[in-house]
């Protein structure tokens, strides 16, 4: 496996020596302060090129960085094929057999003006034409948890309680995947919003829990993390019922905390009524 420095040098050498590549930047965890940086970290690279069509039509281009295990081109998907005659941005996501991974995005220099609005952390590796739009960005403020409005808070609380009835219906009918998806995708999305707001409040909304909340453990107590991990059910229907109520009660605890800290009203009578309705359906399943 190429070391981090070896792969970095190869990327930099490629960008420097190829005259078609007019600038190069690095984004992602490798340049984001506080992000996990280990042997599993990807290289998130952007090449700004004189004519993107020379790169989008060359699907073997990524072989120069190693032996490819699997590659994905998310901009050329069966549901929305890429226009190879156009100059829209294009990415190659490539996992190499040696363990390295490079997510390389190509942007035509005709689109360079849009980079003035870019806000994520990045390092400028090469800038042959001194594009003023390409600047070093060290702040990760764009990733911080955002404080909710009262309207958004109400919407999340309402949606969580509403979807809980879909789960109970699915469990009563023994519709395994329906119930599980409603619980682990739709309800969980609302739950994660609430627990992130709690974390945001506790940290003055100056932190991020990362993509898919992968850094949750950095901001929760050991007890809270154990509580969170304990909400995920096995494939047993009775266990799914138990975990549904665990999630429901934990969400209410969090919503009370967030509402009190942000001065939002919260209808606890509705919450109790929904919980009793769920319990009634469980008793008569």
Collapsing DSSP to helix, strand or coil, 137 comes out as strand
Distance of CA 2 to CAs 5, 9, 98, 125, 154, Å?
A: 8, 10, 7, 20, 50
Which segments of the chain have a pLDDT < 50? none
* CA proximity to 47, closest of 82, 96, 94, 89: 89
CA distances from 276 to 53, 123, 184, 207 (A): 61, 54, 21, 36
Predicted confidence at residue 140, as pLDDT, reads 80
Task: Look at residue 40 in the predicted model and tell me its pLDDT.
Answer: 65
The pLDDT value recorded for residue 29 is: 76
Domains observed in the chain: 4-139 (3.30.460.10), 144-283 (1.20.120.330)
Task: Return d(Cα 126, Cα 10) in angstroms, integer.
Answer: 13
Distance CA 256, CA 262 (A): 10
Q: Which pLDDT score is estimated for 235? A: 84
pLDDT of residue 141: 84
pLDDT for position 41: 73
pTM: 0.83
Question: Residue 66: which of 98, 113, 29, 103 has the closest Cα?
Answer: 98
Q: What CA–CA distance (Å, rounded) separates 88 from 96?
A: 25
- What pLDDT was estimated at residue 36? 60
**pLDDT (0 to 100) of residue 38:** 65
Q: So what's the pLDDT on residue 143?
A: 86
At residue 167, what are phi and psi to the nearest 5 degrees?
-65, -45
């Amino acid at each position: 496996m190429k070391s981090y420095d070896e792969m970095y040098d190869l990327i930099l050498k490629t960008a420097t020596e190829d005259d078609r590549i007019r600038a190069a930047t690095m984004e992602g965890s490798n340049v984001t302060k506080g992000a996990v940086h280990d042997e599993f970290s990807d290289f998130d690279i952007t090449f700004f090129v004189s004519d993107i069509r020379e790169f989008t039509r060359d699907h073997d281009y990524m072989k120069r960085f190693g032996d490819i295990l699997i590659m994905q081109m998310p901009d050329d998907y069966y549901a929305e094929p890429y226009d190879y005659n156009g100059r829209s941005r294009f990415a190659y996501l490539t996992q190499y057999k040696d363990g390295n991974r490079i997510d390389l995005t190509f942007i035509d220099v005709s689109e360079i003006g849009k980079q003035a609005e870019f806000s994520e952390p990045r390092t400028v590796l090469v800038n042959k034409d001194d594009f003023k739009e390409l600047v070093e960005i060290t702040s990760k403020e764009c990733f911080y948890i955002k404080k909710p409005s009262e309207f958004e808070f109400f919407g999340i609380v309402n949606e969580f309680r509403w979807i809980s009835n879909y789960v109970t219906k699915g469990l009563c009918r023994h519709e395994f995947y329906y119930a599980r998806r409603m619980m682990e995708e739709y309800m969980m999305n609302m739950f994660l919003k609430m627990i992130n707001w709690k974390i945001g409040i506790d940290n003055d909304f100056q932190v991020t829990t990362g993509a898919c909340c992968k850094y949750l453990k950095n901001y929760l107590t050991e007890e809270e993390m154990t509580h969170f991990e304990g909400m995920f059910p096995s494939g047993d229907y009775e266990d799914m019922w138990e975990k549904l109520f665990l999630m429901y009660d934990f969400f209410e605890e969090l919503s009370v905390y967030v509402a009190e800290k942000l001065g939002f009203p919260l209808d606890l009578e509705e919450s109790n009524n929904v919980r009793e309705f769920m319990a009634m359906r469980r008793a008569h399943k």
